[in-house]
Amino acid sequence: MPFVSRRRISAPIAAYLLLSLLAGCSVHPPAPQPAAPAPFVAAPIPAGERGQQIRLGKLIFDDTPTYAHAYAGNQFTCSDCHLQSGTIAYASPMIDLAQAFPAFSQRAGHVITLQQRIQECFTRSENGQPPPLDSKELNALVAYIDSLSTGAARGHSYPGRGLVPVPALTGHPLTGRALYARQCAACHGHNGAGVPHVLPPMWGPGSYNNGAGMDKPPKMAAFLIRNMPQNHPGTLSPQDAYDIATFIHSMPRPAFNPAYKSY
Ligand code: HEC
Ligand code: HEC
């Protein structure tokens, strides 16, 4: 015989679940998080032409529509997804990334260079066009990413590379819609459009296209668990994150241009 009978606890728990659902609150505990490596400190930017190239690369990274307008098809900056100029662990950082390429790409099915990986984010996340290999924009981005190397040995990935690991779950879009309204819409908009230049969109014509990594619910869930909501990161459970990502995934966005399939 249990100490508290089922009958006595079920009523308050049912009421809590109902209230939480109505309020769009989470009923799941937050996801356990891997510890963050020590904050990254960038080396000083060298003088001369190399330094100018690195500076331009950082400008493009932080304001892509302005500094790479010929290739960006939306208002996203690289830093909207690769947070704080690509220096935050588990927000797909650029730290020590240069020496991780060339690398096998599952998406492409062959080995790709860092230049090709950047071109992929232009055709998919930026919903634009790939900057050519000899363009000043692409070379500046490579110089900037190179400048975030700590000198770690080749093959030794930065410990906070990529996103946090997530379990495989099934998201429920209706629960996700309620969670989005309560925890995300104040910044990203009830219509998902965000605020151009300030807050990135979640869906609609100004968003990334359906070939982008963020359009895959497990990948977005992994981003959210660690990094959103921006004012309370680390509070979402894996199930909340899947529910929200599945809801966002159900909304319309631009189609990936199949002409860029090789990127
Ligand atoms: C809408 C979000 C978004 C935007 C905008 C975006 N990216 Fe990405 N990027 C991603 C995601 C998601 C991944 C895959 C992360 C993963 O799988 O670990 C990725 C991966 C990458 C990688 C490979 C990282 C690795 O660890 O292998 C590079 C390099 C990259 N992006 C560069 C850029 C650059 C440069 C820009 C700006 C021109 C940009 N991205 C814009 C979402 C974005
Ligand atoms: C306080 C404002 C705020 C709240 C609340 C917030 N975000 Fe964000 N979000 C941002 C900002 C600002 C960025 C751009 C990156 C940065 O500067 O941190 C961002 C970036 C993102 C990105 C990556 C870029 C993109 O558009 O794909 C996603 C995905 C995202 N947020 C989803 C969410 C979800 C889902 C929630 C609710 C659980 C949420 N955010 C809550 C401010 C917010």
- Interval between CA 28 and ligand 1 midpoint (Å): 29
From the CA of 240, which ligand is nearest?
2
Q: Which two tokens stand for residue 212?
A: 């982008």
Q: What are the pLDDT digits (tens) for 155-167?
A: 788 999 999 999 9
Domains and CATH numbers, the chain: 48-147 (1.10.760.10), 164-258 (1.10.760.10)
Long-range contacts of 49-56 (CB under 8 A, 24+ apart): 50/143, 53/139, 53/140, 53/143, 53/144, 54/140, 54/143, 54/144, 54/146, 54/147, 56/136, 56/137, 56/140, 56/143, 56/144
User: What integer pLDDT is reported at residue 196 of this predicted model?
Assistant: 86
Q: What are the pLDDT digits (tens) for 12-60?
A: 444 444 444 444 455 689 998 899 888 899 899 999 999 999 999 999 9
CA 32 to CA 226: how far, in whole Å? 10
Q: Is 76 in the pocket of ligand 1 (CB under 6 A)?
A: yes
User: What integer pLDDT is reported at residue 15 of this predicted model?
Assistant: 46
User: What integer pLDDT is reported at residue 17 of this predicted model?
Assistant: 41
Regions of the chain with pLDDT less than 50: 1-24
The residue whose C-alpha atom lies closest to atom 37 belonging to ligand 2 is: 184
Q: Is the pTM of this model over 0.85?
A: yes
CA 212 to CA 94: how far, in whole Å? 18
User: What integer pLDDT is reported at residue 155 of this predicted model?
Assistant: 74
Cα angle 92-108-157, degrees, rounded to a multiple of 5:
35
User: What integer pLDDT is reported at residue 124 of this predicted model?
Assistant: 98
User: What integer pLDDT is reported at residue 8 of this predicted model?
Assistant: 41
Residue ranges around ligand 2 (CB below 6 Å): 80-81, 83, 183-184, 186-188, 199-202, 214, 220, 223-224, 228-231, 244
User: What integer pLDDT is reported at residue 80 of this predicted model?
Assistant: 98
Q: Is 92 in the pocket of ligand 1 (CB under 6 A)?
A: yes
The residue whose C-alpha atom lies closest to atom 37 belonging to ligand 1 is: 78
Count of residues in the chain:
263
User: What integer pLDDT is reported at residue 154 of this predicted model?
Assistant: 76
